[in-house]
Amino acid sequence: MRMFSANSQRRALSVTLISRDPAMQRWITSGATGGDVDVVALAPADWDIASATQADIILVATDAGCPRDLDLIEKLRTHGVQVVALAAGGSISLAVDAMRRGAADFILQPARAQMLFDRLRELVAQRPQLSSSKTAATRPDRAANPAGFIGQSKAMQALYAQISRAAPSSAPVFVTGESGTGKELCANGIHELSGRKADRFVAINCAAIPRDLMESELFGHVRGAFTGANDDRPGAMQLADGGTLFLDEICEMDLSLQAKLLRALQTNRIRRVGGTSDESVDVRIVCATNRDPQGEMDAGRFRADLFYRLHVLPVHLPALRERGADILELARSFLTRFSAEEGRHFRGFDPRAEQFLAGYDWPGNVRQLENLVRRIVVMHDGEMVSAQMIPLALAQSGAAGAVPGRAGADILAFGNAAGAGGSHAQHGIEPFWIQEKRIIEKALETFDGHVGKAAAALEISASTIYRKKLGWDGDPAMSA
């Protein structure tokens, strides 16, 4: 073991390096010369959870010839440790595999030591750094809120009961709810409360992966199966073996792949793309959609036999507008977290700001509220969030109780509603995002809400449409 220690006026960044390469250990430790980094270098055989978790962050050197490096990343992740992969030879595929196994980020070799340490410090700084009193005030009671949700409204109590009943089973779970309600959080909570929690939770967004790659992502592939398949690679079903696979936006899956998924669920066996033999898997499926499954089946876009195979334990997430006092509880929790992250001093919301938040309809749900609070914290400082800090369009809608077409992101300007002008409207100029939104919505209407077909007609990717919609729902930066 090699160790570098340095004294500094500010607290040193504590890094544990796990690498079997003595040269790598020397390079990392000798690079910590800025006086603000402590590095402990260990061989894979020498580390243990007790020592590893003492560090702020873990750096794991990965090599394509040693799959145990990826297993190590996954094991550390299950203990709640933040891990960064150092990918040998600048291998992008190795870095991606490390991210899929739980790494928070990756750094390609060769890299400058100072750049590496700067990135590690950024990752540590991005984690919420709350005082014990603030943490106690905002941390959800896991016994009362079984999936880590925040809120005690009647709608959420009903949800908690559903999750508690569904979690111990191995039967598939079908999660429904509007966009931004927390479907992946729900799925992960079900996994953490199940007997499979010691194994992996793997999530796939069926809408974000190109159709021609989706089968490989789900079932894996063998070397030479297609151009660029240079190595055998496991899919999500293999990675989730013994654990839980979350299929988000399941209704976006291609019909031909739906048939293969159905067969896999019926037989507990899968075949990699280009493979000649089947592999056994033991996976619990949790899937989610914000569409109407019955409507998708009626339209011929979703197989009825697959739906009935998956729709064993239904769980429905309530919209934020149905959650009453949870809105302010969530807003205060977000305010505490983002204030700590951004170095601000907010303690709460003034009465008028609370009135606006409680009276708004939140079409973008929790995601929209979270993005709004983050934006306020970044753009302002003080002890209390005032009504003047809320974006004009949201404040006007909250006061009137109306539901705008674009929630919370209509106007980026901040300030008093009475003092704002509309110079663009006065000149008859329609903002670009409004024109873009109208075009995309027209395409979705033409194709009965089918994102893939709308994207093809517009000659853009399906993920672009989802990113644009996310921006309309609450974060204008996402629609750029």
* Per-residue three-class SS string for the chain: CEEECCCCCCCCEEEEEECCCHHHHHHHHHHCCCCCEEEEEECCCCCCHHHHCCCCEEEEEECCCCCHHHHHHHHHHHCCCCEEEEEHHHCHHHHHHHHHCCCCEEEECCCCHHHHHHHHHHHHHHCCCCCHHHHHHHCCCCCCCCCCCCCCCHHHHHHHHHHHHHCCCCCCEEEECCCCCCHHHHHHHHHHCCCCCCCCEEEEECCCCCHHHHHHHHHCECCCCCCCCCCCECCHHHHCCCCEEEEECHHHCCHHHHHHHHHHHHHCEECCECCCCCEECCCEEEEEECCCHHHHHHCCCCCHHHHHHHCCEEEECCCHHHCCCHHHHHHHHHHHHHHHHHCCCCCEECHHHHHHHHHCCCCCHHHHHHHHHHHHHHHCCCCEECHHHCCHHHHHHHHHCCCCCCCCCCCCCCCCHHHCCCHHHHCCCCCHHHHHHHHHHHHHHHCCCCHHHHHHHHCCCHHHHHHHHHHHHCCHHHHC
At residue 318 the predicted structure's pLDDT band, cuts being 50, 70 and 90, is very high
Cross-strand bridge partners of residue 269: 280
Range of lowest pLDDT (38-47, 255-264, 305-314, 389-398): 389-398
Predicted pLDDT at 458: 81
Same fold, 154-317 and 321-421: no
Closest to 340 measured CA to CA, from 130, 122, 121: 130
Instruction: Give me the residue spans of the domains in the chain.
Output: 2-126, 154-317, 321-421, 432-479
> Which amino acid, 219?
F
Q: Kindly report the CATH number that applies to the domain delimited by 154-317.
A: 3.40.50.300
Q: Distance of alpha carbon 162 from its chain centroid, rounded?
A: 23
Structurally, at CATH architecture level, domain 321-421 sits in: Orthogonal Bundle (1.10)
Q: What is the mean pLDDT of residues 386-409?
A: 54
List of residues 6+ apart from 68 with CB closer than 8 A: 44
Query: Residue 6 pLDDT more than 60?
Result: no
List of residues 6+ apart from 173 with CB closer than 8 A: 166, 187, 190, 284, 285, 286, 287, 312, 313, 314, 315
Q: What is the mean pLDDT of residues 129-154?
A: 55
Q: Are 166 and 313 in contact (CB under 8 A)?
A: yes
Predicted pLDDT at 391: 79
Predicted pLDDT at 445: 81
List of residues 6+ apart from 256 with CB closer than 8 A: none
Q: Which of 8-17, 22-31, 210-219, 250-259 has the highest mean pLDDT?
A: 250-259
Sheet of 201-205: strand order equals 201-205, 244-248, 284-289, 173-176, 313-316
Predicted pLDDT at 29: 78
Predicted pLDDT at 139: 40
Query: Residue 410 pLDDT more than 90?
Result: no
The whole-angstrom separation of Cα 8 and Cα 413 is 42
Maximum distance among all alpha carbons in the chain? 70
The whole-angstrom separation of Cα 22 and Cα 17 is 11
Q: What is the mean pLDDT of residues 366-375?
A: 93
Domain 2-126 belongs in CATH node 3.40.50.2300: yes
At residue 140 the predicted structure's pLDDT band, cuts being 50, 70 and 90, is very low
pTM of the model: 0.57
Predicted pLDDT at 411: 28
Percent of the chain with pLDDT over 70: 74
At residue 13 the predicted structure's pLDDT band, cuts being 50, 70 and 90, is confident
Query: Residue 376 pLDDT more than 90?
Result: yes
At residue 168 the predicted structure's pLDDT band, cuts being 50, 70 and 90, is very high
Predicted pLDDT at 3: 42
Mean per-residue pLDDT over the chain, rounded? 78
Is 240 or 54 the better-scoring residue by pLDDT? 240
Reading phi first (left if > 0) and then psi (alpha if -120 to 50, else beta), residue 451 is in alpha
- 133, with CB counted inside 10 A (0-12, 13-18, 19+), is exposed
Predicted pLDDT at 136: 36
At residue 399 the predicted structure's pLDDT band, cuts being 50, 70 and 90, is very low
The whole-angstrom separation of Cα 329 and Cα 13 is 33
Percent of the chain with pLDDT over 90: 34
Is 335 or 86 the better-scoring residue by pLDDT? 335
Query: Residue 46 pLDDT more than 60?
Result: yes
Query: Residue 401 pLDDT more than 60?
Result: no
Predicted pLDDT at 166: 93
Range of lowest pLDDT (52-56, 262-266, 347-351): 52-56
Predicted pLDDT at 90: 55
Query: Residue 383 pLDDT more than 70?
Result: yes
Predicted pLDDT at 18: 85
Predicted pLDDT at 174: 96
The whole-angstrom separation of Cα 251 and Cα 264 is 17
For 426-457, what is each residue's pLDDT tens digit? 445 566 677 778 888 888 888 878 887 888 78
Predicted pLDDT at 58: 86
Q: Are 47 and 69 in contact (CB under 8 A)?
A: no
Query: Residue 190 pLDDT more than 60?
Result: yes
